[in-house]
Structure 1
Amino acid sequence: MHRCGGLSELAEANAEVQQICDEMKVHAEQKAGTTFEIFAAKSYKTQVVAGRNYFIKVHVGDEECIHLRVYKKLPCYGGDLELSDLQYPKAHQDSIEYF
């Protein structure tokens, strides 16, 4: 468990996180100005806010990754997902930090 506002420990991506990435792929491609043949979630951290921020490392091909910050609204506000920001390009060894 992590304190409110702080980032959680790094965790391996699961089906829920991959589903978030699948929904955000087109938005990430628009923001990065490129298309990604591979878009596989590798690991993530979360941050509890008025909802939840997901900081996700996504493999996008070769040695490149992209870091996504996705905001998930509280269920009472619809539970929608929003791509808040991204960092590209990133390497596999780059750690996920707040951005």
Structure 2
Amino acid sequence: MSKPVGGPSEVKQATPEVQKICDEVKHHAEEKAGKKFDVFVAKSFTTQVVAGTNYFIKVNVGSDQCVHLRVHKALPHTGGKLQLHGIQVSKTEQDLIEYF
């Protein structure tokens, strides 16, 4: 069964590329959340192809606590910049990654 065009991908385990994205937006995530994260490890993610790619990433921030990030990666011909579009705090390892 194929996924709908523009719909999110299946949830996948985080890759080194996804961890690199998290590392690049960590400072912005801390600003939006209003706190510092000692731990910031990508656990899983989904993607959505738009004018670039939206990444929805579950990030462990210590113990069973997680945050969900929505990061947009622009198309390569526009510079491929990353922008943190949203963060959800007070998540756990069991919470599903959903569009937000």
Do Structure 1 and Structure 2 share a fold, with TM-score over 0.5?
yes
Shift of 1:2: 3.8
Measured in 1, the distance between the counterparts of 2:5 and 2:81 equals: 20
List runs of 5+ in structure 2 lacking aligned partners.
none
Q: Residue type of the partner of 2:11? A: L
Partner of 2:44: 43
State the match for 2:32 in structure 1: 31
Q: Which residue of 2 aligns with 1:98?
A: 99
After superposition, the CA RMSD in angstroms is 0.9
Quote the offset at 1:5 in angstroms: 1.0
Contact 1:47 1:54 in 2 (8 A): yes
Q: Give 1:32's aligned amino acid.
A: A
Matched, 1:67 2:75: no
**Quick check: 1:69–1:84 contact (8 Å CA) kept in 2?**
yes
1:9 corresponds to 2:10: yes
- Percent of aligned pairs with the same amino acid: 59
**Cα distance, 1:4 vs structure 2:** 2.6
Structure 1 length normalisation: TM-score?
0.97
Q: For 1:3-55, what per-residue CA distance to the aligned partner results, in whole angstroms no more than 9, with x for missing partners?
A: 33100000000000000000010000000000000000000000000000000
- Listed as ranges, the gaps of 5+ residues in structure 1 are none
The count of aligned residue pairs is 99
Large movers: runs of 4+ above 3 Å:
none
